[in-house]
Amino acid sequence: MNTRETDGTSTHHVVVLGAGYAGMAAAVQLAARPGRRKGLTVTLVNAQDSFTERLRLHMTATGQEPAELSIPEVLEGTGARFVRGWVTAVDADTRTVRIDDERVLHYDTLVYGLGGVADTAAVPGAEDHAYTLSGPEEARSMADRLARLGSGTVVVVGSGLTGVESAAEIAERHPQLDVVLVGRQEPGASMNPKAQAHLRSALDRLGVRVRGGEQVVKVLPGSVELAGGESVAAEVVLWTGGTRVSPLAAEAGLRVDERGRILTDTALRSESHPDVYAVGDAAAVRQGYGVLHGTCQSGMPTGVHAAVSIVRTLRGRQPKPFRFGYYHTPVSLGRNDAVVQFTRPDDSPRRICLTGRAAARYKEAVSASPWPTYGRMKKMPASGAFWPRGGRFTRLRAAR
């Protein structure tokens, strides 16, 4: 791997784009590893200087403000540099990143962790008339709208986990509102019967009207239109139906999949540009059971693995293949109820699940875990290198 001369000293510059769960893990791991200051610099770039707890954005959308978490505070004592700004371009040929169209950063190795946002582009009107949970500002904007709404209907589009959590949270915090959850699948479709039954019972208890097997094809100023032609009145529409990633990777000439995610080798390096590592939602990471889907539980391990792979490569060693197996799906159903579906490594449901208050405490522990985990990584970097590898489920045939 190439290095640059700085004041007569050979220095390898690593730039990490995005301080989400994966990017933060990569930056902390790289900066905190013993001996890394000898010839290795780490720069973390993010649009805000506060860490976005995506696991809690459905709470922010209902006026509950989690404690603000400072990115510079996490990096304190590691020697990593933090740059606040929007990434506007990546040039993979010159190995440069443009920030706010003004500043230019050079890198020897790039860790690309610009995650996904709500995909409102595919359905007419969604971009203009629907709220999203793409970030704290968007969530706060919805919270302000709900606070001013004395009565009316809120339509949550998307019956995945984010949609379920959002519908339950809105119904609990604003019982005067009529909440409708619309999605192509039934809520909890990937769970075992017991877990799915508890989830549906909780939504019924909260007064959420579920419209499974329905597709929203248009969003209007005061309603949504379904595929069958029916119109559902809505004072507020929340869009949680899928995500899209930044187009910067494709524009830079990196090889991407049909969703714009960077195609990686087994070490999480770009297939087309091995000096670029892709982590979190930005990466199309193949495992024996398919491509990883974006979650905190898989995102942080990709960041850690990328950091370890970079260190191994700089030491002249081959990076190890990344392997990850899922182990749970926790879903909050308001503040005092939840369901936790324990899974096999390929994310299929096990017979075991947790429900009720115990599940709510479990979900809260999961949501709060990244922050102390980063703190432990600073003191003991190896503590972040442990996660379920998934056994036979994650073996790639081509790697045998």
Of the listed ranges 6-10, 173-177, 249-253, 382-386, the least confidently predicted one is 6-10
Determine the average pLDDT of the residues in 239-253: 93
Whether 9 shows a pLDDT value over 70: the answer reads: no
- As a whole number of angstroms, the distance between CA 27 and CA 234 comes to 43
Cβ proximity of 119 and 244 under 8 Å? yes
pLDDT of residue 37: 52
- Could you tell me the pLDDT band of residue 400, with boundaries at 50, 70 and 90? very low
**Listing from the earlier edge strand, what are the strands of the sheet with 209-212?**
209-212, 177-183, 152-157, 236-239
Helix (H/G/I), strand (E/B), else coil: 237 = strand
pLDDT of residue 35: 54
pLDDT in tens, 284-294: 999 999 999 87
pLDDT in tens, 310-323: 999 999 999 999 99
Q: Cite the beta strand spans of 261-368 per DSSP E.
A: 262-263, 276-278, 283-284, 286-287, 290-291, 328-332, 338-343, 349-355
Q: Which residues have CB under 8 Å from 42's CB, separation 6+?
A: 14, 16, 27, 30, 31, 36, 78, 79, 80, 81
Using a CB cutoff of 8 Å and minimum separation of 24, what contacts does 205-208 make? 206/167, 206/168, 206/171, 206/172, 206/179, 206/333, 206/334, 207/171, 207/175, 207/178, 207/179, 208/167, 208/168, 208/171, 208/179, 208/180, 208/181
Kindly list the distances between the CA atom of residue 51 and the CA atoms of 13, 21, 222, in Å, as whole numbers in the listed order: 23, 9, 34
- As a whole number of angstroms, the distance between CA 189 and CA 159 comes to 9
Determine the average pLDDT of the residues in 37-61: 91
What predicted TM-score, i.e. pTM, was given to this entire model?
A: 0.93
Q: Which residues have CB under 8 Å from 13's CB, separation 6+?
A: 4, 41, 43, 106, 107, 108, 109
Angle at 389 between CA 387 and CA 395, to 5 degrees: 160
Phi, psi dihedral angles at 361 (to 5 degrees): -65, -40
What is the maximal distance between C-alpha atoms in the chain? 70
pLDDT of residue 399: 43
Using alpha carbons, select from 95, 134, 121 the residue that is nearest to residue 17: 95
Cβ proximity of 179 and 154 under 8 Å? yes
Whether 8 shows a pLDDT value over 50: the answer reads: no
Whether 305 shows a pLDDT value over 90: the answer reads: yes
Joined together, the tokens standing for residue 250 give 């494709």
- As a whole number of angstroms, the distance between CA 273 and CA 261 comes to 14
pLDDT of residue 379: 86
- As a whole number of angstroms, the distance between CA 297 and CA 278 comes to 16
| Domains observed in the chain | 4-115+246-324+369-399 (3.50.50.60), 119-240 (3.50.50.60)
